[in-house]
Amino acid sequence: MSIKKQLRDALTEALRSGETQRKTTLRMALASIKNAEVEAREELEEDLVLNLIQKEVKARQETIEAAKRHSDRI
């Protein structure tokens, strides 16, 4: 099963169960994949999807760390 299919299935499950944070996270991941596919004008291969997700995770972690550092200064 492809990564995108797994993400879509997980999103459906999150929508049904009302898991707001999980739903939002999955939607952001799928949107990033879709944007990259539109930019590339083709469907991304599995390894590129995985790399994109890893970049998104890293960006979110850096944002969280920056927010924590900022809140410590306040």
Q: Please report the DSSP string for 2-61 in residue order.
A: -HHHHHHHHHHHHHHHT-HHHHHHHHHHHHHHHHHHHHHTSPPPHHHHHHHHHHHHHHHH
Give me the pLDDT at residue 71, please.
Answer: 83
Number of domains, the chain: 1
Q: Give the domain CATH number at 12.
A: 1.10.1510.10
Give me the pLDDT at residue 1, please.
Answer: 85
Q: The domain containing residue 62 runs over which residues?
A: 3-73
Please list, in sequence order, all residues whose beta carbon lies within 8 angstroms of the beta carbon of residue 46, skipping any fewer than 6 positions away. Answer: 2, 3
Per-residue pLDDT of the chain (74 residues; tens, 9 = 90+): 899 999 999 999 999 999 999 999 999 999 999 999 999 999 999 999 999 999 999 999 999 999 999 887 76
- DSSP letter at 1 equals -
Give me the pLDDT at residue 74, please.
Answer: 63
Indicate the pTM of the whole model: 0.82
